[in-house]
Amino acid sequence: MTTITRNSLAQAAQEGTGIAHLSPGQAWAAHRLAMPPERLEKPLAPHIAALLENVERVAARKFFASTDRDDTESIIRVAHDEAQPMFLRAPILQTLRQGMVECLPDLTPSGVNDKGEPVYRLAKIAAALDVPEEELLARAEAMGLKDKLSTTPHVHPLH
């Protein structure tokens, strides 16, 4: 069983994962509240479980209020918003990654960034989608994602 420490709780919150007996949302809420690890022992005290559930629910409400569920671009934008909790963003990001693999099987990452996330060359994406690079740049800017594009990323090439 994983021991809950301040560092492991921070890492779980950052990665959007659970830790020990805590769900991803509970780990994020506990980290957000700076709860001492000894308060998170199993079983959770009912008042601690209720507090974590409430904080998680408020975060989810804010997250989903910040997007239009019927607008794909809005969902993509909020999924890439690092100000949002990762436990809410992670499932959407995973679905987007799976979609890229399924829809563009020949598109392969050029490398990975410092976080281990795949990095793609804009030229390769444009070619795979058969659209000009300028159009992709304009769409990224319109969606508020231009800051996710980098001309000098810290990319580690794949072998």
52-72 pLDDT per residue, tens: 999 999 999 999 999 888 888
Could you say which of 80, 103, 126 is where a domain stops? 103
Considering the domain architecture, whether residues 111 and 96 belong to the same structural domain is answered as no
84 and 6 co-located in one domain: yes
Residues 96 and 132 in one domain: no
% of the chain with per-residue pLDDT over 90: 52
Last residue of one domain, picked from the residues 103, 128, 145: 103
Q: Which of 103, 122, 144 is the last residue of a domain?
A: 103
Say yes or no to pLDDT of 1 above 70: no
Q: Which of 12-26, 42-56, 118-132 has the lowest mean pLDDT?
A: 118-132
Residue 153 confidence class, pLDDT cut points 50, 70, 90:
low
Report phi then psi at 119, rounded to 5. -125, 135
Please, are residues 136 and 126 in contact by the beta-carbon 8 Å criterion?
A: yes
pTM: 0.76
